[in-house]
Amino acid sequence: MKKNYDILVVGSINMDVIVNTDKYPAYGDTVFCNSINMTPGGKGANQAVTAAQLNKKTALIGAVGKDSAGSQLLRNLEVKNVDVSHVLEVETSGTGTFVAMIDVRGENTMVGTKGANDHILRKDIEQIFDQLDAKILLVQMETSKESILAAMQEARKRKMFVILDPAPAEGIFEEAFQYADLILPNKQETKAITGIDVVDQETALQAAIKLKEMGIPQSVVKMAENGSLVYHNDTPTYIEAIKVHAVDTVGAGDCFAGALASSLLETNDLVEAVKFASVAAGIKVSRSGGQDAIPTLQEVLSYHSTC
């Protein structure tokens, strides 16, 4: 018998090394920082934790190495109510690891290795999809190209609603776009896909129209603290970001994606889902930390009801 889920996430599982610093060092410099911490991360894991925190039955398909980091990350996901029974343990590669430097404004710059995330094969995806069903597939671009394509194609066959978070920009490939029902690019990703530099609502709309011309019917162009442009049924709607003091932006986009998918299940209204996701992401960036900073459903609803 197949397992049924609200949201299925196919994506990365990483150990993040978080470096807090007053400012980024100049090229070749050696400087002291304020702190260094290791925390569970990965775009797929972050999105799955968000959906689970928002009371959605969530499964994650991903991969870790057979190492201490992988074991720790799987335990953490289980504690956060994410089904990890479909996560692969890879012998030929270590668990993905990223280093994030965060300055006093909360902005982050990251570098890392995909590790086991890059070792998910098409046959793995096809075998796992035969064992489950879900209403929404949420996928990013931090695992192997063949796993991303296979997941989107299998989801389409099963009439799942497919949400593509095209992050990171370095992982983007156009072949995936034809299988997406909705895309959620930030400014950098939007420029990488469309060539349009998003600086305001007008350029965000130009980019959304270009995305539709590329075969993606719906889009949410994210502009960080400047809000989001929702393009749905050929109609643009601007959603303001909530006003917060940003402390840590690591995982903000992942929180947004997981919250949007969760709300869309409840409301079937993309504009309302983006409003909900904006609140969740806003709460997330106002706190330091990784997955532990992701808000609960009650926290989002309490804030959302006052907006």
pLDDT of 200 above 90: yes
Rg of the chain over all Cα atoms, to the nearest angstrom:
18
Summary mean pLDDT of the chain:
94
Token pair belonging to 247: 């402390």
| CA 155, 159, 161, 166 torsion-angle sign | positive
Q: Where are the beta strands (DSSP E) in 107-187?
A: 108-113, 132-139, 161-164, 182-183
In whole angstroms, give the CA distance from residue 277 to residue 181. 18
Give the range among 75-84, 85-94, 103-112, 165-174 with minimum mean pLDDT.
103-112
Q: Model's pTM, two decimal places?
A: 0.92
DSSP secondary structure letters along 287-298: S-SSGGGSPPHH
Domain 9-304: give its CATH architecture.
3-Layer(aba) Sandwich (3.40)
Percent of the chain with pLDDT over 70: 99
250 annotated binding-site participant: yes
* 107 confidence band (pLDDT: 50, 70, 90): confident
What pLDDT was estimated at residue 249? Answer: 80
Provide mean pLDDT across the span 135-143. 97
Domain coordinates in residue numbering, the chain: 9-304
96 annotated binding-site participant: no
Give the range among 4-8, 29-33, 56-60, 108-112 with minimum mean pLDDT.
108-112
What pLDDT was estimated at residue 306? Answer: 57
152 annotated binding-site participant: no
pLDDT of 307 above 70: no
**Residue 294 phi, psi dihedral angles, 5° rounding:** -70, 130
**Please, where are the H alpha helices in the chain?**
43-53, 68-79, 122-129, 145-157, 187-194, 201-213, 252-267, 270-285, 297-304
238, β-bridge pairs: 229
Catalytic residues: 254
Length of the chain: 307
Which amino acid is located at 127 in the chain?
Answer: Q
pLDDT of 185 above 90: yes
* 192 confidence band (pLDDT: 50, 70, 90): very high
Residue among 57, 93, 74, 59 nearest 13 (CA) = 74
118 annotated binding-site participant: no
In whole angstroms, give the CA distance from residue 90 to residue 88. 6
76 annotated binding-site participant: no
3-state secondary structure of 259: helix
Could you tell me which residue, 202 or 23, shows the higher pLDDT?
Answer: 202
pLDDT of 157 above 90: yes
